[in-house]
């Protein structure tokens, strides 16, 4: 017997033929009747109660941060800019750390975030792969960054701090901390990398809407900024410089602490709610990823999505036996794929302790690519160590190809990805196309770390053919690496 659905389908086909439309551009109409679930959703009660600390499962414990004398830096030395409750998390090797209820309460505003099955993208690519993406753009700031901004503001607040400084590249972290400042009635000052400040004026407006002060870095407000501007008045800024400015100010004022949007252990820890939710969502549809892709700047969204799956691997879970986690970085700022594994400063001026990480040299100035959140000379020490020990992988992709992937994704899936997120999408599409050639039906998971609604000027440049692939800046990197601090 012919079902109602088939009759409706047949009628749509007839109508489509009359309108001159092909089956190809009508296929979304049919997906609903033929495809499995598109959005895999969880209830608010499924928001994780604990963060997962990968340190507990690392085969070798992380190397400590060092002072300029080569000696390990204890929490007391960092207490000038961080509260003790955050420093405890930074040093912790406990596997599970409870999420405070006031933080979970705020997470409920946008979490759990949806996991999508990218049926339409799969169809466009003609790949045998199943592609899923975890969408973090549903947060008020539009990315994963509030997952850590909220707890960082909370821990500072309960430690009696009412004012925070920070840096921002893409503007996503600055927005997230500005929002968190509103939630806990705190003052927020943001040093925004100058090139992003110019490229993304609406990100500045958003931060101001949430009550933050925003300055284009390098500024005249700090010694670091004044020094840089004196020798290079046109300096476009970098995350390393903005971090120096924010840390310098926090260290000089007793009422002010500093909050970092990535890199440090506690930031990666807070992001693990992403992967924990994703695991529950995969369970709901009886699936499990073979490969995970995420953009990698300082590394927190990559860690957030992949560490909870690495926990399965560490626990001997058969499903995770062949799991591959791929950090995707820009070819113009290839910290993991072309950097060296060494002790280096986290900022441009050398205010932070030395951390063992893959680095291009703390004063390397990355080219002004549009993925501002990926313009960082180093990568989180935890990710660096996992990469060094070959437990995770990394690839670098060029700028124009990332926008090409972002546009393809937007046209298939609807969501316009942030330029940073386009990196993870690019690498996943490349894998899906490789599988098309080989016939392998892999399950791929992308962390779609944010939307690109405030990055449309970059998309405009892409459409106008004005975006370029920066050459791998070999000479600048060589020069910056020659200035690595001598340890011990
Ligand atoms: C949307 C988005 N994705 C990714 C990143 C990269 O940061 P991380 O590597 O710390 O996740 C950023 C940084 O600003 C971002 O805004």
Task: Domain 101-142+272-482: give its CATH code.
Answer: 3.40.50.1100
* Residue 486: pLDDT band with limits 50, 70, 90: confident
Q: Which two tokens stand for residue 466?
A: 């004005």
pLDDT at 35: 65
- What does pLDDT average to over the chain? 93
> Which of the residue ranges 172-186, 195-209, 417-431 would you say has the lowest mean pLDDT?
195-209
Ligand 1 binding pocket mutation candidate from 140, 144, 306 (most atoms within 8 A of CB): 144
Cβ atoms of 309 and 329 within 8 Å: the answer is: no
Provide CB contacts within 8 A for 22, sequence distance 6+. 16
Q: Is the pLDDT of residue 166 over 80?
A: yes
Q: Give Cα 69 to chain centroid, integer Å.
A: 32
Provide CB contacts within 8 A for 82, sequence distance 6+. 90, 257, 258
Ligand 1: centre distance to CA 369 (Å): 14
For residues 206 and 216, give the distance between their C-alpha atoms in angstroms, rounded to a whole number: 15
Ligand 1: centre distance to CA 428 (Å): 17
Ligand 1: centre distance to CA 60 (Å): 27
Does 146 contact ligand 1 (Cβ within 6 A)?
no
Task: Give 352-405 pLDDT, tens digit per residue.
Answer: 999 999 999 999 988 888 888 898 999 999 999 999 999 999 999 999 999 999
- Per DSSP, the three-state class of 414 is coil
Q: Which part of the chain has CATH 3.40.50.1100? A: 72-94+143-265, 101-142+272-482
pLDDT at 33: 53
Ligand 1: centre distance to CA 296 (Å): 7
Residue 63 CB-density burial (10 A; 0-12 exposed, 13-18 middle, 19+ buried): middle
Q: How many residues does the chain have?
A: 488
Q: What percentage of the chain reaches a pLDDT higher than 70?
A: 93
Does 174 contact ligand 1 (Cβ within 6 A)?
no
Does 53 contact ligand 1 (Cβ within 6 A)?
no
Query: Given the CA of residue 172, which atom of ligand 1 is nearest to it?
Result: 16
CATH 3.40.50.1100 fits 72-94+143-265, yes or no: yes
Of 397, 396, 402, 395, the residue nearest 418 (C-alpha)? 402
Task: Give 457-481 pLDDT, tens digit per residue.
Answer: 999 999 999 999 987 788 999 999 9
The angle, 0 to 180 degrees and rounded to 10, between the axes of the packed helices 399-413 and 419-438 is 80
Ligand 1: centre distance to CA 432 (Å): 23
Ligand 1: centre distance to CA 181 (Å): 20
- Per DSSP, the three-state class of 329 is strand
pLDDT at 484: 94
Neighbours of 59 (CB within 10 A): 9
Task: Tell me the average pLDDT across 425-440.
Answer: 98
pLDDT at 18: 47
For residues 376 and 378, give the distance between their C-alpha atoms in angstroms, rounded to a whole number: 6
- Per DSSP, the three-state class of 347 is coil
Task: Give 26-35 pLDDT, tens digit per residue.
Answer: 555 555 456 6
pLDDT at 372: 85
Does 244 contact ligand 1 (Cβ within 6 A)?
no
Does 449 contact ligand 1 (Cβ within 6 A)?
yes
Give the global pTM.
0.92
Does 301 contact ligand 1 (Cβ within 6 A)?
yes
pLDDT at 144: 98
Does 300 contact ligand 1 (Cβ within 6 A)?
yes
| Residue predicted with more confidence, 30 or 53 | 53
Does 262 contact ligand 1 (Cβ within 6 A)?
yes
DSSP 186-241: -EEEEEEEHHHHHH-HHHHHHHHHTT-EEEEES-SSSHHHHHHHHH-TT----HHH
Ligand 1 binding pocket mutation candidate from 168, 297, 326, 455 (most atoms within 8 A of CB): 297
Task: Tell me the average pLDDT across 144-169.
Answer: 97
pLDDT at 14: 44
Ligand 1: centre distance to CA 207 (Å): 17
For residues 107 and 427, give the distance between their C-alpha atoms in angstroms, rounded to a whole number: 29
Residue 383 phi/psi, 5-degree rounding, is -65, -40
Q: Is the pLDDT of residue 4 over 70?
A: no
Does 450 contact ligand 1 (Cβ within 6 A)?
yes
Highest mean pLDDT among 70-74, 211-215, 479-483: 211-215
Task: Give long-range contacts, CB 8 A cutoff, 24+ apart: 304-307.
Answer: 304/144, 304/147, 304/268, 304/270, 304/271, 304/272, 304/273, 304/274, 304/275, 304/447, 305/134, 305/271, 305/274, 305/275, 305/278, 305/445, 305/447, 306/275, 306/392, 307/52, 307/54, 307/268, 307/272, 307/275
Q: Is the pLDDT of residue 258 over 90?
A: yes
Query: Given the CA of residue 297, which atom of ligand 1 is nearest to it?
Result: 9
Task: Give 312-338 pLDDT, tens digit per residue.
Answer: 999 999 999 999 999 999 999 999 999
Q: Is the pLDDT of residue 20 over 50?
A: no
């Amino acid at each position: 017997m012919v079902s109602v659905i088939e009759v409706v389908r047949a009628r749509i086909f007839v109508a489509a033929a009359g309108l001159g439309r092909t089956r190809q551009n009508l296929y979304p109409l049919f997906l609903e009747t033929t495809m499995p679930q598109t959005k895999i959703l969880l209830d608010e009660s499924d928001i994780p109660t604990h963060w997962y600390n990968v340190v507990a499962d690392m085969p070798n414990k992380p190397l400590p941060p060092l002072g300029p004398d080569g000696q390990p830096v204890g929490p007391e030395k960092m207490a000038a800019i961080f509260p003790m409750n955050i420093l405890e998390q930074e040093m912790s090797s406990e596997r599970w750390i409870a999420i405070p209820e006031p933080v979970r309460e705020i997470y409920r505003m946008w979490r759990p975030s949806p996991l999508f099955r990218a049926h339409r993208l799969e169809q466009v690519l003609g790949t045998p792969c199943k592609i899923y993406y975890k969408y973090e753009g549903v947060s008020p700031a539009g990315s994963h960054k509030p997952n850590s901004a909220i707890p960082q503001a909370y821990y500072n607040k309960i430690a009696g701090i009412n004012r925070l400084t920070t840096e921002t590249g893409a503007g996503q972290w600055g927005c997230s901390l500005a929002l968190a400042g509103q939630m806990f009635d705190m003052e927020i000052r943001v040093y925004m990398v100058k090139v992003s400040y110019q490229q993304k004026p609406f990100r500045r407006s958003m931060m101001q809407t949430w009550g933050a002060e925003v300055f284009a870095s390098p500024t005249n407000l700090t010694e670091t900024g004044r020094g840089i501007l004196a020798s290079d008045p046109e300096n476009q800024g970098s995350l390393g410089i903005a971090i120096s400015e924010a840390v310098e100010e926090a260290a000089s004022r007793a009422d002010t602490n500093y909050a970092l949007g990535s890199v440090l252990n506690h930031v990666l820890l807070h992001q693990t709610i992403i992967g924990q939710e994703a695991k529950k969502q995969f369970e709901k549809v009886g699936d499990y990823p073979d490969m995970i892709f995420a953009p990698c700047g300082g590394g927190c969204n990559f860690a957030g999505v992949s560490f909870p799956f690495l926990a399965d691997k560490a626990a001997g879970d058969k499903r995770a036996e062949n799991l591959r986690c791929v950090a995707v970085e820009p070819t113009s700022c290839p910290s993991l794929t072309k950097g060296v594994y060494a002790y280096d400063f986290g900022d441009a001026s050398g205010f932070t302790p030395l951390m063992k990480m893959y680095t291009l040299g703390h004063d390397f100035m990355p080219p002004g690519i549009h993925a501002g959140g990926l313009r960082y000379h180093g990568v989180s020490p935890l990710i660096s160590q996992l990469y060094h020990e070959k437990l995770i992988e990394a690839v670098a992709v060029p700028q124009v190809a990332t926008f090409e992937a972002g546009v393809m994704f937007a046209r298939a899936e609807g969501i316009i990805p942030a330029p940073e997120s386009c990196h993870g999408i690019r690498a996943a599409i490349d894998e899906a196309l490789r599988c098309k050639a080989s016939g392998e039906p892999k399950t791929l998971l992308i962390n779609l770390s944010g939307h690109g609604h405030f990055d449309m000027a970059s998309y405009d440049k892409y459409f106008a053919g004005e975006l370029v692939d920066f050459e791998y800046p070999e000479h600048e990197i060589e020069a910056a690496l020659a200035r690595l601090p001598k340890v011990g």
